[in-house]
């Protein structure tokens, strides 16, 4: 999964949203549970406080206040248990639970400002934090009414432990839920984008030449795109046909005038006007070469104007080798192919035949006994070369060999347009052609084509 892909972006957005939502939910659940714990503690302290107030009495009728019975919670009788009560009078402890042992709870300086329903944090035995609830009561004694301050406190660590336990459990639960939801999001994105994957596979089949149109059923949103692409391909194909037809019309239209001019040049020769005839023949040849080259460039440009079509190198080279063997001296030459299995290049099959047909034909004419075709991937491009073991080209001749109409060896047939046309076709694909001499003798024609994200190894191999 690539970082810039649509699937990665959707997955990243979904995963981020899921994690953020669960983190926020976890925070809110923790806060809700914290409020619940504190409200429960306040309720328990309020119950203990009411029990303590009900237990106060002056049974001896001597003005000395005591408790009539022990409070229900047994922790009040266990020293330093974490649950305490204390009764104070005039800012001094009067009674206290056995759990306080020899300690006492701090007495507020202004008891009248305390709220009986709102707890406060104080420090108790061992300087531990306590949650305390206090209330002022009036008790009837022999000596009259007595104003007392009742305090009940519990260790704050009980609430902290409850919160930690809850947070741990809710955190683990939400983490598991996050993993499940992220996996579900991944599956949802994979299923949702599967039509696009199928569409990409069909486009790849079209690029490799196995299909001419997009086929199959897609969701309504994608089906509209498929319809538009098929319509575009149809329009592009019709444009290509019209372009080829115009090229053929041009060639046919010029054929008759050139033939008339050629006949006129022959008449001039018969009448002894050799120089005039030679000039006309030179111009006729120039026009013919120009038309042939421009027609080749027009055909190549028309084919690359739409969706690129890849060519599988191995099968195409084998077909060209078979054609070369039927030409003069073709069966006397050893044809060797060194092409990785399944490699394809971003070049229309007809343009591939035009480029490498010309290069192989040149190699056939000049080779002594061997022609080698090589293909290898280099960085962001594909390098294809044709080598022969002939006499080669002098260094000063390499620079002009690709010029239009240049024939370096007049003893061999040809118009001199092959290399120029091959170079023009390659340029329409962003490629280039180089001619290099071989140390062991002969010529090496090297072509380079950019990948542009399209030249690749075919998964199904050569056909």
DSSP conformation letters of 339-352 = --TTEEESS-HHHH
Q: In sequence order, what are the beta bridge partners of 130?
A: 122, 155
The per-residue pLDDT for 227 is 81
Residue 160, CA distances (Å) to 74, 167, 264 in order: 22, 10, 112
As for how many domains the chain has, the answer is 3
CA dist 81 and 96 (Å) reads 14
Residues 154, 130 contacting (CB under 8 angstroms)? yes
Q: What is the pLDDT of residue 404?
A: 44
Strand partners, 148: 137
* CATH number of the domain where residue 331 is located: 3.30.565.10
Find out whether 372 and 338 touch, Cβ atoms under 8 Å: yes
End of a domain among 207, 230, 263? Answer: 207
Whether residue 278 is contained in a domain is answered as yes
Based on its alpha-carbon atoms, the radius of gyration of the chain, rounded to whole angstroms, reads 48
* Alpha carbons 361 and 357: distance in angstroms, whole number: 6
CA dihedral 25, 28, 34, 35 (to 10 degrees): -140
pLDDT value of position 177:
95
Asked whether residue 229 is assigned to any structural domain, the reply reads yes
Provide the token pair at 254. Answer: 């010029």
Do 48 and 197 sit in the same domain of this protein? Answer: yes
Looking at residue 399, its pLDDT comes to 60
Return the H-helix or E-strand segment holding 137. Answer: strand 129-141
Instruction: Among 303, 326, 347, identify where a domain stops.
Output: 303
> Is 226 found in the same domain as 190?
no
Same domain as 252, residue 125: no
Same domain membership, residue 183 and residue 63: yes
Of the candidates 318, 290, 319, 416, the residue with the CA atom closest to the CA atom of residue 365: 416
Of the candidates 222, 204, 195, the one whose C-alpha atom is nearest the C-alpha of residue 453 is 204
Q: 198 and 50, same structural domain?
A: yes
Do residue 255 and residue 176 come from a single domain?
A: no
Domain annotation covers residue 130: yes
Residues 285 and 373 in one domain: no
Distance CA 256, CA 244 (A): 19
What is the spatial distance between Cα 419 and Cα 355, in angstroms, rounded to a whole number? 8
Yes or no: say if 342 and 461 are a contact pair by the CB < 8 Å rule. yes
- Residues 318, 297: one domain? no
CB under 8 Å, gap of 24 or more: what pairs does 181-187 form? 181/18, 181/22, 182/14, 182/15, 182/18, 182/19, 185/11, 185/14, 185/15, 185/18, 186/11, 186/14
Query: What's the rounded Cα separation, in Å, for the pair 7 and 442?
Result: 52
Residues 183 and 92 in one domain: yes
pLDDT at 168: 94
Q: 148 to each of 47, 453, 459, how far by Cα in Å?
A: 18, 89, 91
pLDDT in tens, the chain (463 residues): 667 678 888 889 999 999 999 999 999 999 999 999 988 998 999 999 999 988 888 765 666 788 888 888 899 999 999 999 999 888 888 898 999 988 899 888 777 677 766 788 889 888 899 999 988 888 877 777 788 889 999 999 888 998 999 999 999 999 999 999 999 999 998 888 888 778 877 777 776 666 667 777 777 777 788 788 888 878 877 877 777 777 767 776 777 787 888 888 888 888 888 888 888 888 887 777 777 666 666 665 544 444 556 788 999 999 999 999 999 889 999 999 999 888 888 888 888 888 899 899 989 998 999 999 999 988 778 999 999 998 877 766 666 565 544 444 444 444 456 777 788 888 878 888 998 888 888 899 999 988 754 444 443 333 3
Q: Domain range holding 438? A: 311-457
**Whole-angstrom Cα distance, residue 417 to residue 406?**
7
Do 164 and 32 belong to one domain? yes
Pair (255, 340) in one structural domain: no
Q: Beta partners for 154?
A: 83, 131
CB 152 within 8 A of CB 44: no
> How far apart, in whole angstroms, are the C-alpha atoms of residue 89 and residue 96?
12
Closest to 371 measured CA to CA, from 316, 339, 334: 334
CB 363 within 8 A of CB 329: no
Q: Which of 262, 286, 303 is the last residue of a domain?
A: 303
Cite the beta strand spans of 208-302 per DSSP E.
none
Query: What is the structure's pLDDT at 372?
Result: 94
Domain membership of residue 273 (yes or no) is yes
Give the pLDDT confidence score for residue 179 in this predicted structure: 95
* Residue 212: inside a domain: no
What lies within 8 Å, CB to CB, of 296 at 6+ separation is 354, 421, 424, 425
Pairing of strands 334-338, 370-378: parallel
Token digits of residue 230: 């098929």
Q: What is the dihedral of CA 259, 260, 266, 270, to 10 degrees?
A: 160
β-bridge partners, 434 = 446
Q: What is the pLDDT of residue 333?
A: 93
Q: Do 228 and 338 fall into the same domain?
A: no
- Sheet of 443-450, strand order: 334-338, 370-378, 381-388, 443-450, 432-437
Is 56 inside any structural domain?
A: yes
């Amino acid at each position: 999964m690539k970082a810039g892909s649509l699937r990665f972006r959707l997955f990243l957005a979904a995963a981020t949203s899921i994690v953020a939502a669960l983190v926020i939910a976890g925070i809110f659940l923790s806060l809700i549970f914290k409020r619940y714990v504190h409200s429960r503690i306040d309720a328990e302290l309020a119950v203990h406080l009411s029990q303590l107030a009900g237990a106060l009495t002056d049974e001896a009728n001597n003005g000395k206040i005591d408790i009539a019975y022990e409070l229900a919670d047994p922790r009040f009788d266990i020293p330093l248990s974490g649950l305490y009560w204390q009764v104070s009078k005039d800012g001094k402890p009067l009674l206290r639970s056995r759990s306080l042992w020899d300690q006492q709870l701090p007495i507020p300086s202004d008891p009248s400002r305390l709220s009986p329903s709102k707890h406060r944090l104080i420090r108790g035995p061992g300087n531990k934090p306590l949650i305390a609830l206090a209330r002022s009561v009036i008790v009837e004694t022999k000596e009259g009414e007595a104003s007392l301050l009742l305090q009940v406190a519990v260790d704050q660590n009980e609430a902290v432990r409850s919160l930690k336990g809850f947070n741990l459990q809710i955190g683990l639960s939400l983490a598991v839920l996050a993993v499940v939801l992220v996996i579900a999001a991944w599956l949802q994105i994979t299923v949702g984008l599967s039509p696009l994957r199928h569409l990409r596979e069909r486009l790849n089949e079209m690029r490799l030449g196995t299909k001419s149109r997009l086929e199959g059923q897609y969701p309504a949103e994608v089906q509209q795109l498929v319809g538009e692409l098929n319509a575009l391909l149809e329009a592009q194909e019709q444009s290509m046909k019209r372009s080829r037809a115009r090229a053929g019309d041009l060639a046919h239209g010029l054929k008759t005038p050139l033939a008339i001019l050629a006949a006129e040049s022959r008449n001039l020769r018969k009448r002894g006007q050799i120089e005039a005839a030679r000039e006309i023949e030179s111009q006729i040849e120039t026009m013919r070469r120009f038309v042939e080259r421009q027609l080749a460039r027009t055909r190549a440009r028309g084919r690359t104007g739409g969706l690129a079509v890849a060519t599988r190198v191995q099968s195409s080279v084998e077909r060209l080798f078979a054609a070369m063997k039927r030409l003069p001296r073709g069966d006397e030459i050893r044809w060797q192919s060194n092409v990785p299995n399944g490699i394809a290049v971003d070049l229309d099959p007809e343009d591939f035949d035009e480029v490498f047909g010309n290069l192989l034909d040149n190699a056939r004419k000049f080779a002594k006994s061997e022609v080698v075709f090589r293909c290898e991937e280099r960085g962001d491009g594909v390098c294809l070369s044709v080598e022969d073991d002939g006499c080669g080209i002098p260094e000063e001749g390499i620079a002009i060999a690709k010029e239009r109409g240049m024939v370096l060896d007049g003893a061999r047939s040809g118009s001199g347009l092959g290399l120029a046309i091959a170079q023009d076709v390659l340029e329409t694909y962003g490629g280039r052609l180089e001619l290099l001499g071989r140390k062991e003798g002969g010529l090496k024609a090297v072509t380079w084509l950019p990948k542009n994200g399209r030249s690749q190894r075919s998964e199904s191999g050569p056909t």
